[in-house]
Amino acid sequence: MTISSYQIQNIIQTYNRQLKSRRTPSVQSAQENNNVPKDVVEISSEGKKQHIMDRAGDEAIKKYKEQTLEPYRKE
């Protein structure tokens, strides 16, 4: 059994129509007016410090591995 591309396209179009028809009017108007609240992420100063320390540690380990494995690499 083969499924042609136009059959898949029809299914996708039908699915999109069903999704659009299920929206509530308030959601539709909010999306049309771009009044949808945006997600905001706030990272504490402690979290920022921890992230920097993690990155610095990862970089130090990477450099250490490169230096210790350098004599064993074949040219």
**Gap between the terminal Cα atoms of the chain:** 54
More confident residue, 21 or 61: 61
pLDDT at residue 53 in the model: 95
Per-residue pLDDT of 11-49, as tens digits, reads: 999 988 888 877 666 655 666 666 667 788 899 999 999
pLDDT at residue 67 in the model: 86
Number of neighbouring beta carbons within 10 Å of residue 59? 10
User: Which sequence spans correspond to the domains of the chain?
Assistant: 44-75
Whether the model pTM is above 0.75 = no
Name which of 20-24, 29-33, 62-66, 67-71 the model is least confident about.
29-33
For residue 26, what are its two tokens? 């308030």
With vertex at residue 28, the alpha carbon angle to CA 25 and CA 31, rounded to the nearest 5 degrees, is: 150
